[in-house]
């Protein structure tokens, strides 16, 4: 029997310039007194977290700041944050100020300061034990400062398990933030490459949700089998379409002129909307491929990021996106074409090349590397990359057509150089 039900959930949202100044009030409404603020060193350097902490103190809240969230969290970095919070707590609310890394770190800290056990107990199987939390988590207010990850809307915390060289996650509805506060003014400090990479993440959230397997094409689930990600559905479609529409108008402008306030605001809105979409539909092949691409980095060091080897998440997602959507085209051609037209109304044609063409033109314009080769991978790495991607079965199951290992190898191989 086919599925007849889809689900939808979202954090409460406060959107607009100045909204980050109201968090003290919001936290008091949530009953908070002792607050843990989680951020990372780069975001801390912008001064936003300190300003927010000061406002919280002005509202009579006690604030402890943890500013060592690691960009692209690891099991070690999360363990460090959890140990800090267990030691400095108890708290009755958590505020995350930063990109997906800070927000995901806050999710893990929230989980492990309210529930027993250790990180690996909750990490997705087969890497971890995939236990469900048994105790109620604290209210979590997420304040994104990069317009990309949608982490403020989602139920997932992504991490590298260093000893296994694998990127995986923790996924449970209880991890979803209580309130997302999206203040476009906080995103004006993003370097151009961060805007470009994070923007590709937004775009792929929207595109992957929009082309995900339709919810009614899965087998019927029992209520206890439902997961936060239920495939494309009438609600995720609304968010994804509107996000693509906003990106079409703002993405290139936001990368090329960081001072363009309207473009920044539209990117912040696109990120939020795409997050609300993929937070319910799910993502698929480009995100599955991104795990090994980011996790097995050797020595690629992009501008605008901390000086260490890193393929930023959004860039890792983008690098195989054109070829992934060429591969999925036949499963839902009309959605691929409609997405291409939303992103570029002048895109002509009606075949599998249309969407990859729109994507590669965009990637070239905004300075994304021209394929996997440029970030240090070669033909010899393909088997290893495939081995990493196939571990993301939860994501691959959301694709409109299930890729075999050969299919994935072909996507990686064709993604070495895009133009």
Pairing mode of beta strands 156-161, 166-171: antiparallel
C-alpha distances out from residue 332 to 39, 170, 212, 213, 371, Å: 40, 30, 9, 9, 25
- What is the distance between the alpha carbons of residues 191 and 255, in angstroms, rounded to a whole number? 8
Residue 10 as a binder of its own copies (CB under 8 A): the answer is yes
Residue 214 as a binder of its own copies (CB under 8 A): the answer is no
Residue 239 as a binder of its own copies (CB under 8 A): the answer is yes
For its own copies, which stretch binds (CB under 8 A), given 6-14, 143-151, 159-167, 367-375? 6-14
Angle separating helix axes 285-295 and 382-390, nearest 10 degrees: 120
* Footprint (CB under 8 A) of its own copies, residues 20-49: 22, 25-26
- What is the distance between the alpha carbons of residues 378 and 77, in angstroms, rounded to a whole number? 29
Q: What angle do CA 392, 95, 259 make, to 5 degrees?
A: 85
Phi, psi of 355 (to 5 degrees): -70, -45
Residue 397 as a binder of its own copies (CB under 8 A): the answer is no
Give min distance, CB of 362 to its own copies, in A.
23
- What is the distance between the alpha carbons of residues 388 and 395, in angstroms, rounded to a whole number? 12
Site string for its own copies, 164-203 (x = CB under 8 A): ----------------------------------------
Give min distance, CB of 279 to its own copies, in A.
12
Residue 8 as a binder of its own copies (CB under 8 A): the answer is yes
Pairing mode of beta strands 93-98, 34-38: parallel
C-alpha distances out from residue 407 to 32, 44, 68, 278, 307, Å: 50, 42, 39, 23, 34
Residue 7 as a binder of its own copies (CB under 8 A): the answer is yes
Which residues are within 8 A (CB) of 109 and not within 5 positions of it... i.e. 6 or more apart? 36, 38, 66, 78, 81, 82, 85, 94
Q: Which is nearer to its own copies, 80 or 221 (CB)?
A: 221
For its own copies, which stretch binds (CB under 8 A), given 5-13, 109-117, 283-291, 362-370? 5-13
Residue 234 as a binder of its own copies (CB under 8 A): the answer is yes
- What is the distance between the alpha carbons of residues 90 and 104, in angstroms, rounded to a whole number? 19
User: Which of 219, 224, 259, 307 contacts its own copies by CB under 8 A?
Assistant: 224
User: Which of 13, 50, 192, 390 contacts its own copies by CB under 8 A?
Assistant: 13
Q: How many residues belong to the site for its own copies (CB under 8 A)?
A: 27
Q: Which is nearer to its own copies, 6 or 291 (CB)?
A: 6
- What is the distance between the alpha carbons of residues 260 and 252, in angstroms, rounded to a whole number? 11
User: Which of 17, 46, 64, 393 contacts its own copies by CB under 8 A?
Assistant: 17
Residue 304 as a binder of its own copies (CB under 8 A): the answer is no
Is residue 281 within 8 A of residue 231, CB to CB? The reply is yes
Q: Which is nearer to its own copies, 17 or 64 (CB)?
A: 17
C-alpha distances out from residue 400 to 54, 83, 241, 358, 396, Å: 47, 41, 17, 20, 9
Residue 75 as a binder of its own copies (CB under 8 A): the answer is no
Phi, psi of 14 (to 5 degrees): -125, 120
* Footprint (CB under 8 A) of its own copies, residues 250-269: 269
Give min distance, CB of 379 to its own copies, in A.
44
Residue 219 as a binder of its own copies (CB under 8 A): the answer is no
Which residues are within 8 A (CB) of 404 and not within 5 positions of it... i.e. 6 or more apart? none
Q: Which is nearer to its own copies, 25 or 165 (CB)?
A: 25
Give min distance, CB of 16 to its own copies, in A.
4
Burial class from Cβ neighbours inside 10 Å (0-12, 13-18, 19+) for residue 120 reads middle
Give min distance, CB of 266 to its own copies, in A.
10
Distance of CA 33 to the CA centre of its chain: 30
For its own copies, which stretch binds (CB under 8 A), given 9-17, 151-159, 305-313, 343-351? 9-17
For its own copies, which stretch binds (CB under 8 A), given 4-12, 285-293, 342-350, 370-378? 4-12
- What is the distance between the alpha carbons of residues 157 and 109, in angstroms, rounded to a whole number? 10
Give min distance, CB of 256 to its own copies, in A.
24
For its own copies, which stretch binds (CB under 8 A), given 103-111, 114-122, 230-238, 287-295? 230-238
| Interacting residues with its own copies (CB under 8 A) | 3-10, 12-19, 22, 25-26, 223-224, 234-235, 238-239, 242, 269
């Amino acid at each position: 029997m086919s599925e007849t039900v889809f689900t939808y959930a979202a954090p409460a949202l406060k959107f607009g310039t100045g909204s980050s100044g109201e968090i003290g009030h919001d936290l008091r409404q949530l009953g908070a007194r002792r607050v843990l603020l989680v951020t990372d060193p780069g975001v801390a350097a912008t001064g936003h977290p300190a300003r927010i902490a000061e406002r919280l103190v002005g509202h009579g809240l006690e604030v402890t700041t943890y500013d060592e969230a690691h960009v692209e969290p690891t099991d070690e970095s999360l363990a460090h944050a959890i140990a800090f919070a267990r030691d400095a707590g108890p708290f009755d609310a958590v505020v995350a100020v930063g990109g997906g890394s800070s927000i995901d770190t806050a999710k893990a800290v929230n989980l492990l300061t309210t529930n027993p056990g250790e990180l690996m107990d909750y990490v997705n199987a087969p890497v971890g034990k995939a236990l469900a939390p048994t105790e109620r988590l604290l209210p979590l207010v997420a304040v994104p400062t990069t317009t990309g990850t949608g982490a403020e809307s989602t139920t997932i915390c992504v991490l590298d398990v260093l000893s296994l060289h694998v990127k995986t996650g923790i996924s449970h509805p209880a991890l979803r933030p209580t309130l997302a506060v999206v203040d476009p003014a906080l995103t004006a400090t993003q370097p151009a490459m961060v805007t470009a990479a994070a923007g590709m993440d937004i775009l792929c959230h929207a595109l992957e949700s929009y082309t995900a397997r339709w919810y009614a094409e899965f087998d019927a689930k029992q209520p206890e089998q439902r997961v936060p990600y239920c495939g494309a559905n009438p609600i995720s479609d609304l968010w994804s379409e509107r996000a693509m529409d906003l990106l079409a108008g703002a993405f290139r402008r936001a990368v090329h002129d960081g001072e363009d306030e309207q473009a920044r605001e539209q990117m912040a809105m696109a990120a939020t909307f795409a997050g609300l979409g993929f937070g319910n539909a799910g993502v698929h092949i480009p995100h599955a491929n991104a795990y090994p691409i980011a996790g097995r980095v050797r020595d690629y060091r992009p501008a605008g990021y901390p000086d260490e080897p890193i393929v930023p998440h959004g860039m890792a997602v983008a690098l195989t996106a054109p070829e992934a959507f060429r591969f999925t085209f036949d499963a839902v051609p009309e959605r691929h074409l409609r997405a291409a037209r939303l992103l570029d109304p002048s895109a002509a044609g009606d075949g599998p090349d249309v969407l990859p063409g729109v994507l590669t033109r965009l990637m070239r314009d905004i300075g994304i590397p021209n394929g996997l080769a440029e970030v240090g991978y070669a033909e010899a790495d393909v088997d290893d990359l495939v081995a990493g991607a196939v571990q993301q079965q939860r994501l691959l199951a959301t694709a409109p057509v299930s890729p075999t290992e050969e299919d994935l190898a072909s996507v990686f191989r064709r993604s070495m150089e895009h133009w």
